[in-house]
Structure 1
Amino acid sequence: MSELVFTNVTVRFGHHTAVDDVSLTVPAGQVMGLVGESGSGKSTLAATAVGLRKPTSGHIRADGKVQMVFQDPYSSLDPRMSIGNSIAEAMPRGTDKKAEVARLLELVNLDPGRATALPARLSGGQRQRVALARALAGNPRVVIADEITSALDVSVQGAVLNLVRDLQRQLGLSMLFISHNLAVVRYVSDRIAVMKAGRIVEEGPAGQVLEDPQHEYTRELLAAAPRRHTRLEAS
């Protein structure tokens, strides 16, 4: 298990500051939910953790490999490549790729016999499962999930959330789970950080943040969130 630590991270695009002096720790083996409105800087912070953006200042530390699962399962997979090959592409050299692809597909509750299928033959929920398997193929110690249910039908969001929670516990992963939906973050997180205009305005154990929010913005998010999340039974 590995911590993911952001220390005084700032990211600027020209005169615009997307991330403003953020210090945040994703504890080893836990899920840190990061919630905030679109444009608050959540995805930019995630992109810096996997090297897609360079911080203007500050630094990021992870003791092991960090992998990211992106929002859109339709664009995150090569449409010309079978799902088995997409997963195998992320594996370390020397891996028995056929056996490992089968194991990972079973891990995300997909039939290993579908390894030769193209992404177009899968539903959105199934593609997101493939994206999860692909992220796990690199043997990461930290996984960043960036709005991974927001592009899915409501009817399948719960099944994917259940899978994410089960995989995190089973594999002992550290996870930064990003969403604009506080109801979703509430369901999967051990701790919650609230981001507004590039800054972390509140952070703490999930129960504490949800039951006794200290910042007005957190209270606004709570007031806007559904009291109960859409049915979370696997479908």
Structure 2
Amino acid sequence: MTDLVFSNVTVRFGHHTAVDDVSLTVPSGQVVGLVGESGSGKSTLAATAVRLVRPTEGRVHADGKVQMVFQDPYSSLDPRMSIGNTIAEAMPRGTDRKAEVARLLELVNLDPGRATALPARLSGGQRQRVALARALAGRPKVIIADEITSALDVSVQGAVLNLVRDLQRQFGLTMLFISHNLAVVRYVSDRVAVMKAGKIVEEGPAAQVLADPRHEYTRELLAAAPRRDTRLEAS
């Protein structure tokens, strides 16, 4: 069982405090949606979990491997590498790479025959599926998904979210799912944490936070969000 635990994490860049004394637990096998406006510190907090950013204070703990899926599917894949080689790069030694690449591509609903293709031949949604396959190739216990649908066309967002939700359940992954979109967070999350100006201002079960928010900022976010997202329901 693998919890992802942020304990009193602070991140400063010079005189700017991007993350301010954040304590947050992502329970094993659950999805915590981290929501807030751009610049609230969400992505900086996520980066501490994969050691892209070192906390100024506090610590981050997870018992298993942590992998991250980034926002932009166009910049997160090496344009010179085939998608098969990109996925295989993250695999443990001793893995039958060809067979495992085929298995992972099937898992993310891509034709294994596309393994030799370069990223330029794929759509944004297909590239994000490759990024998910690459993350799974490392056999992680924890996935950080950082705004993974925000750069995609509306028409494919729902399909990618369905895939994420299915993979998380199939493998029992612990997941921190970051988004500024409350409709997306509502769709995939067991719990919700709301971040403003580097601080967690509210956290709890998704149904409770979204139905009866305690903090004014959460109420403002809900008021600005669509009541229904028919694109997700139809996908």
Give the TM bin, normalised by the shorter chain: over 0.9
Question: Per the alignment, do residues 195 and 60 of structure 1 end up closer, same or farther by CA in structure 2, a change over 3 Å counting?
Answer: same
Q: Could you tell me the TM-score, scaled by structure 1's length?
A: 0.99
Partner residue of 1:160? 160
Give the Å deviation of 1:230.
3.9
| Residue deviations 1:146-200 (CA, integer Å, cap 9, x gap) | 0000000000000000000000000000000000011100000000000000000
Question: Per the alignment, do residues 200 and 227 of structure 1 end up closer, same or farther by CA in structure 2, a change over 3 Å counting?
Answer: same
User: Residues of 1 paired with 2:176 and 2:16: CA distance?
Assistant: 24
Aligned Cα root-mean-square deviation (Å): 0.9
Give the Å deviation of 1:232.
2.2
Matched, 1:69 2:81: no
Q: How many residues end up aligned between the 2 structures?
A: 235
Where 2:23 maps in the other structure, the secondary structure is strand
Matched, 1:11 2:11: yes
Overall identity of the aligned pairs, in %: 89
Task: Kindly report structure 1 stretches of 4+ aligned residues shifted beyond 6 Å.
Answer: none
Partner residue of 1:22? 22
Where 1:186 maps in the other structure, the secondary structure is helix
Matched, 1:172 2:177: no
Matched, 1:52 2:52: yes
Gaps of 5+ in 1: none
Partner residue of 1:115? 115
User: Residues of 2 paired with 1:60 and 1:187: CA distance?
Assistant: 26
Give the Å deviation of 1:234.
7.2
The one-letter code sitting in structure 1 at the alignment partner of 2:129 is R
Matched-pair contact (CA < 8 Å) for 1:10–1:55 = yes
The one-letter code sitting in structure 1 at the alignment partner of 2:140 is P
Question: Per the alignment, do residues 185 and 87 of structure 1 end up closer, same or farther by CA in structure 2, a change over 3 Å counting?
Answer: same
Partner residue of 1:181? 181
Q: Could you tell me the TM-score, scaled by structure 2's length?
A: 0.99
User: Residues of 1 paired with 2:234 and 2:174: CA distance?
Assistant: 23
| Residue deviations 1:182-234 (CA, integer Å, cap 9, x gap) | 11000000000000000000000000001110000000000011111142267
